[in-house]
Every structure is written in C-alpha cells, then in structure tokens.
C-alpha cells in the first residue's frame, strides 16, 4: 500500500508542475497585481471532495492458535467529504492547517484458509494536519502531515466444525482509532476565489489487540476448560480525492511568473 501511495503522490505532483510556467489569470489587470504568487492562496477556505479509498487490514495470531499466522486483505471503496483550512502566505511560500472529515464505503468479508471467517469495515476517517508548500503562478503545491482518526470494525472467528461441548475463539476490534497521516496535493486557482484541489493521503492506525477464548464443557454444560488466545489487528488506508475549495476574505490577483 505504501508503494501505491508514493506512486499516486508522484503522479499527482508531476503533471501540474510540468505546466506551471504556462498558468496565469487572463482577467487580472497586469499593472495593479502583486508579484507574490502565494497571496491568492492565503486565508480561510472551505471545500468538498470525492474520490476513492484502498485500505489494508491484517490480523496476526499472537498466541499460536493458528501457528502464529498473519492474514492480510485489501478493501476498496468510495470516499467523499468536506474540509476547512487556513493558510498563511508569504510571497511564494505558504504554511497552513487543515481539518477534514471523510466518509468511506470500504467493507469486505470472506475466509482465511477456509476455516477463519473475517469481516472488516471503515465508515469514516478524519484528519487534522499541517501543510506547507510553494505557489507557482496559479498553482499551490504542498506536502502535509498530522493526526488521523477512524472508525474501524474488524472481526475474525474460527468456524471449524466443533464438537457440541466446545466453542472456538473469535476476535474483534470495533472502536475509533488514532493514527498518523502524510500526503501531498495541489490547488489550482480557477478564479480569484474558486480553487480546484486534488490530494493523496496515507494513514496508519497502528495495532489493536483482541482476546478470544477456547472453551470446553462437560456433559452437564458446566465450563471445564478455558484458554485465552490473542490476535492483533492492524489497519492502514490510502485516500485519493479531487474537489473544489472556496477562499474567503480579500482576494489578490497575482502577476504571472516571468
């Protein structure tokens, strides 16, 4: 998944940068515009976006119920959300803070080795990030990183055929998790206030341990034996998005680069 993230980021940034020298406002009065490109990208903005997400979930057998195996699967789905941001502009450089909320449709279920049933889902992800970059004419290129939050639901259970006096372990991780995120993106000024944006984020939500129990019962149904077995769930996701942002406050047109 990390290779996917870096490949998407490289493609995202290389295309607009190659044409940055040709970008300009056609309606800006040349005799009255400032020379600093970053001025038009400063201040408060709100935006909306759509895109796609690819998550990778894994579960590791810590206590050798399944001989220490680790299982992994990928899930793809739709993503869409909103963001707010504030950027401080200084000539051709910017630094800002971004907060977003992304709603996801990334669910999957199936079997590992024919006898372990799994189900995973991610319904939303939110981030609070710093971003910093440079403005080249009407183009703002940036890198970003910060904290990520997500609602993650992972389950696995052993469905091997059992004797009537036994129950096999099941494990679950159903909680809001905190992780970290990095990414890259750009905004392109369609007008003095409306910006086209695209961004790719990678988020890692670390590990969450769960305990399942093997239980054996006697003929009368009383618990005869109980053993605990731990499993460790790990989750990461790549989100790619495109959208529009609207910038408030006074707007400064800028002079095209020479």
Which comes out higher in pLDDT, residue 171 or 10? 171
What is the reported pLDDT for 112? 77
What is the reported pLDDT for 5? 44
How many domains in the chain?
Answer: 1
What is the reported pLDDT for 184? 98
What is the reported pLDDT for 3? 55
- DSSP per-residue letters across the chain: -HHHHHHHHHHHHHHHHHTGGG---SSS-TTT--S-GGGGG-EEEEEEEEEEEEEEEEEEESSSTTTT-EEEEEEEEEEEEEEEEEEEEETTEEEEEEEEEEEEEEEEEEEETTTEEEEEEEEEEEEEEEEEEEEETTEEEEEEEEEEEEEEEEEEEE-----TTEE--EEEEEEEEEEEEEEEEEEEESSSSEEEEEEEEEEEEEEEEEEEEEEEE-TTS-EEEEEEEEEEEEEEEEEEEEEEEEE-S-----PPP-
Residue 243 placed within a domain: yes
Residue 212 placed within a domain: yes
Residue 26 has pLDDT above 60, yes or no: no
Per mean pLDDT, which range of 9-18, 23-32, 123-132, 229-238 is the poorest? Answer: 23-32
Residue 34 placed within a domain: yes
Residue 47 placed within a domain: yes
Which comes out higher in pLDDT, residue 236 or 37? 236
How far, in Å, CA of 163 to CA of 225, rounded?
A: 14
Residue 215 placed within a domain: yes
Residue that has been written with the tokens 């080249």 in this structure: 136
Which comes out higher in pLDDT, residue 134 or 71? 134
What is the reported pLDDT for 175? 79
Which comes out higher in pLDDT, residue 153 or 31? 153
What is the reported pLDDT for 255? 46
User: Mean pLDDT throughout 174-200?
Assistant: 94
How far, in Å, CA of 144 to CA of 95, rounded?
A: 10
What is the reported pLDDT for 257? 41
For the chain, the average pLDDT equals: 83
Q: Give the C-alpha distances (Å, rounded to integers) separating 227 from 63, 206, 212.
A: 10, 26, 8
Q: Give every CB contact of residue 67 below 8 A, 6+ residues apart in sequence.
A: 61
Question: Any idea what the CATH number is for the domain that residue 223 is in?
Answer: 2.40.160.20
pTM: 0.79
Residue 19 has pLDDT above 80, yes or no: no
How far, in Å, CA of 165 to CA of 107, rounded?
A: 33
Q: Give the C-alpha distances (Å, rounded to integers) separating 75 from 104, 173, 239.
A: 11, 17, 12
What confidence tens digit (pLDDT) does each residue in 105-150 have? 877 777 777 777 888 888 899 999 999 999 999 999 999 999 999 9
Phi, psi of 16 (to 5 degrees): -70, -30
User: Mean pLDDT throughout 25-32?
Assistant: 40
Residue 13 has pLDDT above 90, yes or no: no
Q: Give every CB contact of residue 17 below 8 A, 6+ residues apart in sequence.
A: 136, 139, 141
What is the reported pLDDT for 36? 82
Domain that holds residue 216: 2-247
Residue 204 placed within a domain: yes
What confidence tens digit (pLDDT) does each residue in 193-251 have? 999 999 999 999 999 988 888 888 887 778 888 888 998 999 999 999 999 999 997 65
How far, in Å, CA of 246 to CA of 82, rounded?
A: 12
How far, in Å, CA of 118 to CA of 70, rounded?
A: 13
Per mean pLDDT, which range of 78-82, 113-117, 174-178 is the poorest? Answer: 113-117
Residue 255 placed within a domain: no
What is the reported pLDDT for 17? 42
Per mean pLDDT, which range of 3-12, 93-102, 146-155 is the poorest? Answer: 3-12
Residue 39 placed within a domain: yes
What is the reported pLDDT for 241? 97
């Amino acid at each position: 998944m990390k290779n996917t993230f870096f490949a998407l980021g490289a493609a995202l940034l290389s295309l607009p940068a190659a044409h940055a020298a040709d970008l300009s406002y056609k309606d800006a009065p040349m005799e009255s515009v400032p020379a600093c490109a970053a001025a038009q990208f400063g201040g408060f903005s709100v935006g909306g976006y759509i895109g796609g997400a690819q998550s990778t979930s894994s579960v590791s057998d810590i206590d050798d119920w399944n001989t220490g195996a680790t299982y992994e699967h990928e899930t793809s789905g739709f993503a869409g959300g909103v963001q707010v941001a504030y950027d401080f502009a200084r000539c051709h450089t910017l630094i800002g803070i971004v907060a977003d909320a992304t709603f996801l449709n990334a669910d999957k279920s199936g079997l590992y080795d024919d006898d372990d049933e799994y189900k995973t889902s991610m319904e939303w992800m939110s981030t609070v990030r710093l971003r910093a970059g440079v403005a080249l004419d009407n183009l703002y290129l940036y890198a970003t990183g910060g904290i990520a939050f997500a609602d993650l639901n992972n389950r696995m259970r052993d469905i091997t055929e059992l004797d009537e006096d036994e129950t096999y372990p099941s494990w679950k991780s159903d909680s809001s998790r905190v992780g970290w995120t990095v990414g890259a993106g750009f905004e392109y000024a369609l007008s003095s206030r409306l910006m086209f944006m695209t961004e790719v984020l990678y988020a890692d939500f670390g590990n969450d341990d769960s305990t399942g129990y093997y239980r054996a019962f006697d003929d009368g149904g009383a618990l005869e034996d109980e053993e605990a077995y731990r499993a460790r769930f790990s989750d990461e996701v790549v989100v790619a998005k495109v959208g529009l942002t609207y910038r408030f406050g006074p707007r400064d047109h800028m002079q095209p680069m020479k």
